[in-house]
Amino acid sequence: MSNKTFRKWAAASLLSLSASTVAIADTFVFTAIPDEDETKLVERFRGVADYLSEQLGTEVRYIPVKSYAAAVSAFRNNQVQLAWFGGLSGVQARRLVEGSEALAQGVEDEAFQTYFIANTNTGIEPGDSLQSMADDLKDRTFTFGSKGSTSGRLMPEFHIREAFESAPEDVFSRVGFSGNHTRTLRLVEAGTYEVGALNFQVWEKELSDGNIDTDSVQVVWKTPPYPDYQWTIRGDVNERFGDGFKEKVKQALLNLDDPALLESFPRSGFIPASNDDYEPIRKTAESIGILD
């Protein structure tokens, strides 16, 4: 190859590399906490990616992660610019990325709940409070969901500590972390754990789909409502994607009305959210030592 030909080839290669880099930079990437089976999440969020791409006029890509902590890390490291977080993981992420904002939450997320469920072989009957069920619950085996889950760990642990004035490890004979809400349901249904705590939406969706053996597992207590899931966006997206981009994302989320997509969450729609909405979650996490 002559020097002249080499220079032309090198210039073309640099131009191609530059174009490729721009294309990557222009891709808006988001993730979500892995709170259910991965196949369900991939189907749901690929649909969201297609919808956002059409609404925003830019390439949008969803990337799955293996843990709640990984979702927070990807957001902190700018590997993703938007994330579907739970209440606690959203608080954690926004503390790490200055200027990040909660944009939208599901209609149902204003007043979310955790269900405590029990294998029917335990003989535990539904109660009005954890205190009234103390004798039946103490020394049982118990599973939370993920360690970073609001509905699967933070709020149930808060109520356990409040009711028993003790840490979960001092109340139950064995405490586990299933990893996600669907797995919590299956472990308690099978009797691997006697009692567990999970997101009420997962229970209601699985129940309506006929996926729960109600002869084996039942709801025994429901927490008071609290704020939970939300879409959180990095504060620097306008600098990267153009003025007004953050507002365009917010409006696209609020306008999402595809019945199939909403049912996959499941949510009836999305409404505006703000960081202040999640102050109760921050305070609760600090009170039980999950946040410094």
- The answer to whether residue 138 is domain-embedded is yes
The confidence score (pLDDT) of residue 25 equals 54
Number of domains in the chain: 2
Percent of the chain with pLDDT over 70: 91
The DSSP call for residue 173 is: S
Residues in contact with 46: Cβ distance below 8 Å, sequence separation at least 6, in sequence order: 62
Domain of residue 129, residue span: 113-222
Name the nearest CA neighbour of 278 among 112, 56, 165, 66.
112
Name the nearest CA neighbour of 229 among 69, 41, 35.
35
Same domain, 105 and 117: no
Write out the two tokens for 8. 């032309």
The confidence score (pLDDT) of residue 51 equals 97
Residue 112 to residue 149: CA distance in whole angstroms: 13
Same domain, 188 and 250: no
Residue 106 to residue 17: CA distance in whole angstroms: 41
Same domain, 70 and 215: no
Same domain, 15 and 50: yes
Residue 10 to residue 16: CA distance in whole angstroms: 10
Residue 186 to residue 182: CA distance in whole angstroms: 6
Residue 6 to residue 207: CA distance in whole angstroms: 66
Residue 217 to residue 249: CA distance in whole angstroms: 40
pLDDT digits (tens, 9 = 90+) for 208-265: 999 999 999 999 999 999 999 999 999 999 999 999 999 999 999 999 999 999 998 8
pLDDT bucket at 5, cuts 50 / 70 / 90: very low
- Say whether pLDDT at 15 is over 60: no
Residue 212 to residue 185: CA distance in whole angstroms: 8
pLDDT digits (tens, 9 = 90+) for 19-59: 333 334 589 999 999 988 888 889 999 999 999 999 999 99
Same domain, 121 and 256: no
Same domain, 198 and 239: no
Please, are residues 194 and 119 in contact by the beta-carbon 8 Å criterion? Answer: yes
- The answer to whether residue 273 is domain-embedded is yes
Residue 245 to residue 261: CA distance in whole angstroms: 23
- Say whether pLDDT at 8 is over 90: no
Helix axes 279-287, 155-164, angle to 10 degrees: 50
Last residue of a domain, one of 178, 200, 222: 222
Same domain, 176 and 204: yes
pLDDT digits (tens, 9 = 90+) for 53-100: 999 999 999 999 999 999 999 999 999 999 999 999 999 999 999 999
The confidence score (pLDDT) of residue 54 equals 96
- The answer to whether residue 234 is domain-embedded is yes
Q: What is the CATH number of the domain that holds 202?
A: 3.40.190.10
Phi, psi for 131 (deg, rounded to 5): -60, -40
Distance of CA 181 to the CA centre of its chain: 11
- Say whether pLDDT at 290 is over 60: yes
Same domain, 94 and 236: yes
Same domain, 211 and 233: no
**Which segments within 101-227 are labelled E, that is strand?**
101-106, 114-119, 141-144, 174-177, 195-199, 217-222
The confidence score (pLDDT) of residue 291 equals 83
Same domain, 195 and 246: no
Same domain, 237 and 101: yes
What is each CA distance from 196 to 147, 162, 208, 239, in whole angstroms? Answer: 13, 17, 20, 44
pLDDT digits (tens, 9 = 90+) for 136-180: 999 999 999 999 899 999 999 999 999 999 999 999 999 999 999
Please, are residues 232 and 114 in contact by the beta-carbon 8 Å criterion? Answer: no
Same domain, 19 and 68: yes
Residue 50 to residue 145: CA distance in whole angstroms: 30
- The answer to whether residue 291 is domain-embedded is no
- The answer to whether residue 86 is domain-embedded is yes
pLDDT bucket at 3, cuts 50 / 70 / 90: very low
Last residue of a domain, one of 197, 222, 247: 222
Residue 253 to residue 247: CA distance in whole angstroms: 10
- The answer to whether residue 83 is domain-embedded is yes
- The answer to whether residue 290 is domain-embedded is no
Tell me the chain's radius of gyration from C-alpha atoms.
Answer: 22
Residue 225 to residue 227: CA distance in whole angstroms: 7
* Average of per-residue pLDDT across 188-199: 97
Residue 9 to residue 148: CA distance in whole angstroms: 51
- The answer to whether residue 88 is domain-embedded is yes
- Say whether pLDDT at 7 is over 80: no
Name the nearest CA neighbour of 199 among 207, 92, 191.
207
Last residue of a domain, one of 222, 250, 269: 222
Residues in contact with 159: Cβ distance below 8 Å, sequence separation at least 6, in sequence order: 114, 130, 223
